[in-house]
């Protein structure tokens, strides 16, 4: 979805990504405003010590399978879920307690029942406990 946003200096409108603009559709998709420290591209957040927690979807766009790489700062409950643009849960990739460090997941473009998801944009929502870590968009092309 493309939205128009006003530059901070009052300049003319420019197209931008709706997640970055905190569009009104975000709450409907179960996507909350990221915590302080969110990197401006939505690739991760900085923890209290200032170290980056990168989130990467590669390849993106993808057709058969994509790899999701991220890191968590400390041991805790980690949840990685895929949502469609309407905010419906497509698949939970991970919901478990994990040690601090890097994590790699794969998504084969299928929903919870094993059916192929249609082509389109999907949103990976990564949370640690109840705290949102990051949201990243992935594009599935069949």
- Segment 26-71, tens digit of pLDDT: 444 555 544 434 443 344 443 433 344 578 999 999 999 999 999 8
pTM of the model: 0.63
Strand, coil or helix: 26: helix
CA distances from 2 to 19, 43, 80 (A): 10, 19, 25
Could you give all domains of the chain from N- to C-terminal order, each with its CATH number? 25-140 (2.60.40.4070)
pLDDT for 101-122, tens place per residue?
A: 999 999 999 999 999 999 999 9
pLDDT for 5-30, tens place per residue?
A: 344 444 444 444 434 333 334 444 55
Q: Say how many C-beta atoms besides its own lie within 10 A of residue 48's C-beta.
A: 8
Mean pLDDT for the chain? 74
Q: What is the distance between the alpha carbons of residues 121 and 119, in angstroms, rounded to a whole number?
A: 7
Q: What is the distance between the alpha carbons of residues 71 and 100, in angstroms, rounded to a whole number?
A: 7
Q: Are strands 101-107 and 14-17 parallel, antiparallel or unpaired?
A: unpaired
């Amino acid at each position: 979805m493309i939205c128009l946003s006003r530059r901070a200096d009052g300049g003319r409108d420019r197209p931008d990504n709706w997640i970055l603009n905190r569009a009104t559709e975000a709450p409907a998709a179960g996507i909350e405003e990221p915590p302080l420290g969110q990197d401006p591209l939505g690739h991760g957040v900085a923890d209290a010590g200032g170290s980056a927690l990168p989130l990467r979807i590669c390849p993106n766009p993808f057709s058969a399978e994509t790899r999701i790489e991220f890191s968590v700062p400390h041991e805790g409950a980690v949840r990685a879920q895929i949502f469609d643009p309407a905010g419906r849960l497509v698949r939970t990739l991970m919901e478990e307690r994990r040690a601090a460090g890097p994590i790699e997941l794969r998504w084969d473009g299928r929903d919870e029942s094993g059916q192929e998801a249609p082509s389109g944009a999907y949103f990976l929502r990564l949370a640690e406990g109840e705290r949102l870590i990051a949201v990243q968009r992935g594009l599935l092309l069949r």
